[in-house]
Chains A and B, each alone.
Chain A
Amino acid sequence: MTRITIGPFNRVEGDLEVRLDIEDGVVEAAEVTVPLYRGFEQILEGRPPLDALALAPRICGICSVSQSIAAAAALRGTMGVQAAPNGVLAANIAHAAENAADHLTHFYVFFMPDFARGAYSGFRWHDAARDRFAATSGSAGREILPARARLLEVMGIIAGKWPHSLAFQPGGTTRAIDLGERIRLLAIVAGFRSFLETTVFGDALDNVLAIETGQQLDCWRDGRDGDFCRFLAIADELHLDRLGQGPGVLMSFGAYHGDQGSLFEGGVFDSGRGVVPLAVAGIAEDVAHAWMREGPADPAHGVTIPDPDKPAAYSWSKAPRLNGRPVEVGALARQTICGQPLLQDLVAASGSNVRNRVIARLIETARLAVSMEQWIRALRLAEPFCSSDVTAGEGAAAGLVEAARGSLGHWIEVSHGRISRYQIIAPTTWNFSPRDAAGTPGPLEQALVGTNVGADGAGSVAVQHVVRSFDPCMVCTAH
């Protein structure tokens, strides 16, 4: 058996180190190290509660709006206030723009460039993949980056700027939208839809979203152009539906909450029982292998104190577990749990894997484009966007939302007008957690086992596909 170390690991948000035990060219065991700790939970303690709105978004430059709305939701809980309905809609529009931009950034900038690698030069699709997807030089880069920038103009209208905005408040959003701005928002989202239909899918979104089974997907894609179909063809040849199998349990907190419920309802999925409600009380953080001091496992009572010389520890990330089990979070979890038919069918057939994670992100992106249009039209322009009925908060609350990469929770406790506790579990904290006290590996550590690296060792492209298929955000992970 040989042990190999892979790092720095780029085209993830942040950095990570992966150590693999290889036996006969196959991964037998994996350890994932999060190499960065900044200490946001320690920084937030003792601060005035609303300071969380300035500090928490800065945990992450790629899911800053998600961090903002988690903090705002937690604060709202301590204040017992309601956000203005327009503010809820405006936050959903901005959040959807961020998530959609993140999904496209992942697909085009982080994930697809690996198929342009020389390692695939023997495949008939390689020349085309290199011309289209090669890192920084492929033709897709000249299309995706301007399209992404144009989509993020949603932020200029609703949130002032991106990343890192203070527009997302417990009472709603800080800027009322007028008629001209509604029209501009609609124009931006129409342009985004057009980009998806022309470049990504090669078909109208209505047709894409009407696909309900893997079989229908195969019929639809036959002979079709577009980057989604290019990916599916590559996925077939490389059997990406057999690569990177997740731990079997998927979780979502539910996303885009409104007075009619959530656009994507939350819950827990496992292959035996289907979708069941999520009991948040089952969430606990284990630090057996984290460079962290032991403390209460319930995030509502948790503490974060680094212990850099702790024996047996190998990551700055804690290990969150749901009822003692590692769970996978992300777009695949969200879409499977909320009942999106195609993803449910694909997961029933092949589980959680590299291919299905990528498909879930792109299908979710199509759904978000449609929902953004509806939310923009639903804004009632003469009514407030921010409730002024905001009082100083006290006590404990949690803000549970979905970032692009999965479930994001902020647990806050306010005593005597100061933050006395702030605990964060980010999506990649779930997915890239280290082993727990029982020795159970985290989701990525499990997904890497069985990967055939052949003679490539640390140069294995398959390992990179598995890691990047989760769209990890390492800066969030240990925060």
Chain B
Amino acid sequence: MNQISPSRTFNVLWLQGASCGGCTMAVLEAGRSGWFEELRRFGIRLLWHPSTSEETGTEALAILDEVRQARVPLDALILEGSVARGPNGTGRFNMLAGTGRSVHQWVTELSAMADYVVSVGTCAAFGGIPAAGINPTDATGLQFDGDDHGGALGAAFRSKAGLPVINVAGCAPHPDWIMETLAALTTGDLAASDLDGYGRPKFIANHLAHHGCSRNEFYEFKASAEKMSERGCLMEHLGCKATQAVGDCNQRSWNGGGSCTKGGYACISCTSPGFESSRNFLETSKVAGIPVGLPLDMPKAWFVALSALSKSATPRRVRSNATSDHIVVPPSRDGSRKKP
């Protein structure tokens, strides 16, 4: 079988912490020939994965032990799910069954053995949903606790290859974000300089979810949806944070062609630390009628001026369709020349 990269296998150990399992469910969609085939093509061997490996119980413990004893090289340790430190620092809210030890203890120990440590999903990266509200389990990410550098492993942590924790954020991440990050590790292409300030690969995080949004024309004219299922821009009223959230979400196809904004609901910025703490996800917070969260890098005065200008220039077609769930005014050669 042809392998793209290296001579020996790239060994990956995948553990789940305080997780919903959704990142695994997502990555199982990766690759035209299936994820298992995709892994083979890049020479990636799953030493153990909680959802896909044959080994269970004592067989799985034997694999973990081999890694602990450094008898098997660990190229990458992956954590899916937050690290639950509670109650009272014991980690008992999330034990690795059959071991009497918490997942917190396991990932702390195994992180020191790995060339690379990868957080798959916003939970492992920043704490995510389990850290919402009163954070009942004292959940944190591996190297960030929300916005704060630190987390379970500490800000100073570097894996054996000298990198901080690589954070494939997203709830759940795009299947290919996960797979492409792993593949880039096997080809030796991912360096510390390829990560942003939150440890997210720049090939994902240098884009905004807004880029390529199919509602772009509505955004340009500030022609906004007012109720769920309407076709207009979701930023002004319905909570959309795509102009502030990193990710190439609307440049890729999710499940064959979708995305959150294509699906008719707001981007809730699930690639960002602390996204879980928002309230009223589907409503835009405003002060004096102006959204609190403005597009990144955009001065407020400019936004207000441009909004006023574009609203005054909105064609009737765009304005009418914005507040409808079906196209009510199609593009028309004649209509486009008439005054709005």
Rounded to whole Å, the gap between the CB of B140 and the closest CB of chain A is: 13
Bitwise interface map of A from 22 to 43 toward B, beta carbon under 8 Å scored 1, else 0: 0000000000010111110011
Q: Which one, A134-142, A333-341, A370-378, is touching chain B?
A: A134-142
Task: Identify the interface centre among B57, B99, B137: most chain A CB within 10 Å of its CB.
Answer: B57
Is A194 positioned at the interface, with any CB of B under 8 Å from its CB? no
- On chain B, the residues within 8 Å of A316 by CB distance are 93
Q: Which one, B142-150, B191-199, B274-282, B302-310, is touching chain A?
A: B274-282
In the assembled complex, the Cα of A62 lies from the Cα of B1 at a distance in Å of 32
B254 nearest CB neighbor, chain A only: A161
In the assembled complex, the Cα of A13 lies from the Cα of B279 at a distance in Å of 29
Q: Which one, A210-218, A380-388, A408-416, is touching chain B?
A: A380-388
Rounded to whole Å, the gap between the CB of B132 and the closest CB of chain A is: 5
Is B299 positioned at the interface, with any CB of A under 8 Å from its CB? no
Is B58 positioned at the interface, with any CB of A under 8 Å from its CB? yes
Inter-subunit contact B99/A7 (CB<8 Å): yes
Task: Report B121-171 residues with CB < 8 Å from chain A CB.
Answer: 129-130, 132-134, 136-137, 139, 171
Inter-subunit contact A142/B258 (CB<8 Å): no
In the assembled complex, the Cα of A8 lies from the Cα of B50 at a distance in Å of 8
Is B187 positioned at the interface, with any CB of A under 8 Å from its CB? no
Inter-subunit contact B28/A38 (CB<8 Å): no
Q: For chain B, what secondary structure do more than half of its interface residues adopt (helix, strand, loop), or is it mixed? A: loop
Task: Report B17-44 residues with CB < 8 Å from chain A CB.
Answer: 18-26, 28-29, 31-37, 39
Q: Which one, A48-56, A74-82, A394-402, is touching chain B?
A: A48-56
- On chain B, the residues within 8 Å of A150 by CB distance are 256
Inter-subunit contact B54/A117 (CB<8 Å): yes
Inter-subunit contact A17/B97 (CB<8 Å): yes
Out of B32, B87, B98, B261, name the residue touching A8 (CB < 8 Å).
B98
In the assembled complex, the Cα of A152 lies from the Cα of B258 at a distance in Å of 11
Inter-subunit contact B137/A145 (CB<8 Å): no
Q: Which one, B3-11, B108-116, B263-271, is touching chain A?
A: B263-271
Is B60 positioned at the interface, with any CB of A under 8 Å from its CB? yes
In the assembled complex, the Cα of A46 lies from the Cα of B261 at a distance in Å of 27
- On chain B, the residues within 8 Å of A110 by CB distance are 51
Inter-subunit contact A61/B16 (CB<8 Å): no
Out of A33, A166, A173, name the residue touching B268 (CB < 8 Å).
A166
Out of A10, A38, A173, name the residue touching B137 (CB < 8 Å).
A38
Q: A7-B98, A35-B96 are in contact. Are A58 and B129 (CB under 8 A)?
A: yes
A35 nearest CB neighbor, chain B only: B95
Is A206 positioned at the interface, with any CB of B under 8 Å from its CB? no
- On chain B, the residues within 8 Å of A312 by CB distance are none
Inter-subunit contact A153/B325 (CB<8 Å): no
Is B206 positioned at the interface, with any CB of A under 8 Å from its CB? no
Inter-subunit contact B21/A174 (CB<8 Å): no
Is A144 positioned at the interface, with any CB of B under 8 Å from its CB? yes
In the assembled complex, the Cα of A167 lies from the Cα of B265 at a distance in Å of 6
Out of B19, B24, B260, name the residue touching A166 (CB < 8 Å).
B260
Inter-subunit contact B87/A459 (CB<8 Å): no
Inter-subunit contact B28/A13 (CB<8 Å): no
Bitwise interface map of B from 40 to 70 toward A, beta carbon under 8 Å scored 1, else 0: 0000001011111111111111000000000
Task: Identify the interface centre among B35, B253, B255: most chain A CB within 10 Å of its CB.
Answer: B255
- On chain A, the residues within 8 Å of B261 by CB distance are 160
Inter-subunit contact B281/A54 (CB<8 Å): yes
Q: A43-B132, A50-B281 are in contact. Are A178 and B326 (CB under 8 A)?
A: yes
Inter-subunit contact A136/B52 (CB<8 Å): yes
- On chain A, the residues within 8 Å of B172 by CB distance are 61, 163-164
Out of A136, A137, A166, name the residue touching B266 (CB < 8 Å).
A166
Rounded to whole Å, the gap between the CB of A119 and the closest CB of chain B is: 11
Inter-subunit contact A152/B58 (CB<8 Å): no
In the assembled complex, the Cα of A262 lies from the Cα of B227 at a distance in Å of 29
Inter-subunit contact A145/B281 (CB<8 Å): no
In the assembled complex, the Cα of A114 lies from the Cα of B189 at a distance in Å of 37
Inter-subunit contact A384/B229 (CB<8 Å): yes
Is A126 positioned at the interface, with any CB of B under 8 Å from its CB? no
Inter-subunit contact B51/A175 (CB<8 Å): no
Is B262 positioned at the interface, with any CB of A under 8 Å from its CB? yes
Is A5 positioned at the interface, with any CB of B under 8 Å from its CB? yes
- On chain B, the residues within 8 Å of A475 by CB distance are 19-21
In the assembled complex, the Cα of A60 lies from the Cα of B18 at a distance in Å of 11
Inter-subunit contact B130/A39 (CB<8 Å): yes
- On chain A, the residues within 8 Å of B55 by CB distance are 10
Is A453 positioned at the interface, with any CB of B under 8 Å from its CB? no
Rounded to whole Å, the gap between the CB of B240 and the closest CB of chain A is: 11
- On chain A, the residues within 8 Å of B132 by CB distance are 43, 55
- On chain A, the residues within 8 Å of B35 by CB distance are 145
Inter-subunit contact B58/A385 (CB<8 Å): no
Task: Identify the interface centre among B31, B90, B326: most chain A CB within 10 Å of its CB.
Answer: B326
B22 nearest CB neighbor, chain A only: A61
In the assembled complex, the Cα of A424 lies from the Cα of B197 at a distance in Å of 37
Q: Measuring CB to CB, which residues of chain B are less than 8 angstroms from any residue of chain A?
A: 16, 18-26, 28-29, 31-37, 39, 46, 48-61, 84, 87, 90, 92-99, 129-130, 132-134, 136-137, 139, 171-172, 227-229, 253-266, 268, 270, 276, 279-282, 325-326
Q: Measuring CB to CB, which residues of chain A are less than 8 angstroms from any residue of chain B?
A: 5-11, 13-17, 33, 35-39, 42-48, 50-51, 53-55, 58-62, 64, 105, 109-110, 113-114, 116-117, 134-137, 141-146, 148-150, 152-167, 169, 171-176, 178, 188, 306, 308, 316, 382, 384-386, 388, 390, 458-459, 464, 475
Interface pairs (8), CB distance under 8 Å: A13-B21, A35-B97, A116-B54, A136-B49, A136-B53, A157-B257, A165-B260, A316-B93
13 further contact pairs, Cβ within 8 A, besides A173-B229, A175-B262 = A8-B61, A14-B16, A15-B97, A35-B95, A36-B18, A60-B21, A61-B24, A61-B26, A117-B54, A145-B36, A149-B29, A308-B87, A475-B21
